[in-house]
Amino acid sequence: MDLLGDFMTRATLAGMGVALAAAPLGSFVVWRRMAYFGDATAHAAMLGVALSLAFGMSIFAGALVVAFTMALTVNALTGRGYAMDTLLGVMAHSALAFGLVAVSFLSGVRIDLMAYLFGDILAVSRLDLAVIWGGAAVVAGLIAWRWSALLTATLNADLAYASGIDPRREQLVLTVALAVTVAVAIKVVGVLLIAAMLIIPAAAARPLARSPEAMAVIAGAIGAGSAIVGLRAAFVLDTPAGPTIVCCAALAFAGTSLWRRAPLG
C-alpha cells in the first residue's frame, strides 16, 4: 500500500516537517526579538520565486538564494545609521513588491499567485516532501550543533566573547537556518505566513516551558499539532489550508496565554 499516494498524508507530513524545522529556530527568533527579521526574509522569498520561474530554476533554490541574500544584507547594514525596524520594513516590503511586479511580467508562465502567497500544501508532491524534510533535517542539525553557543550569544554578547564564542558567527548560523526554513515552507504556508509558523508556536510554548530545550520541543509539538488539526479543519470547513493551520497555532497561543494568567487553585 502506497501511503504517500494519498494527498492528505503528504500534506500532513509536509506540515509536520515545516513545524519541526521552524520550532527550534522560532524559539531563537522569539528570544532575540527577531520577528520582523523573519518576516523580511520570508517576504524576500517572493522575489526568489519570480526569478526561479523566469529562469526555469527550482523554486526551492531561488527562494533559498534570495532569502539568504536578504538576511545577509540586513546583517551587514545593521548599525549603519538606520533603526533595525525601519531597515527591515523597507527591505521586506520592497522585496515583496519587486517580487510581485516581476511575477506579473512572466506572461509565458502560468502562475497561481495565491499558492505562493498563502501556500498550497494540498498539492505537495513526493519531491516536495523530500525537499521539506531534507531542509528540516539541515535546520535541526545546525541548531543542535550550535545550541549551546547560540544560547550563550543570545543571553549576552559579552559573555559569549568571554567564552570564546563569536556572536556574529552564531547570527550567521541563524541566518542560514532561517533562509532554509523559508525556502522549504513556501509550499506549505506561503511567503506571507512563514513568519507566523516561526513565531506563534514558539510564543505559545513559552508559558509551558521550564527550560530553553523544553520550549523548543513544546514549540515543535504545537506546530506539528497545528498542522494536523488545521489540515483536518480545512478539509471539513472547506477553508484555505495554510491560513487554517496558522489559525490553529494562534488558538494554541491564546490557550497557553490564558492558562498562564489563570489563578492557581
Predicted local confidence at residue 170, as pLDDT: 87
**Is pLDDT larger for residue 241 or for residue 4?**
241
Nearest-angstrom CA–CA distance, 12 and 14: 5
Predicted local confidence at residue 112, as pLDDT: 66
**Is pLDDT larger for residue 75 or for residue 194?**
194
- CATH: 3.40.50.620, 1.10.3470.10, 1.10.275.10, 1.10.10.10. Which one for 3-194? 1.10.3470.10
Nearest-angstrom CA–CA distance, 158 and 153: 8
- pLDDT tens for each residue of 29-76: 888 877 777 777 888 888 888 888 777 788 888 888 888 887 777 777
Considering only 19-23, 51-55, 237-241, 251-255, which range has the smallest mean pLDDT?
Answer: 51-55
pLDDT interval class at 1 (50, 70, 90): very low
Judged on CB neighbours under 10 Å (0-12, 13-18, 19+), 162 is exposed
Instruction: Kindly state the helix (H) or strand (E) to which residue 230 belongs, with its residue range.
Output: helix 212-237
CA 227 centroid distance within chain: 13
Boundaries of every domain in the chain: 3-194
| Of residues 229, 224, 245, 136, the one with CA closest to residue 180 | 136
What is the model's pTM?
A: 0.85
What number of residues does the chain have? 265
| Of residues 175, 211, 208, 180, the one with CA closest to residue 194 | 180
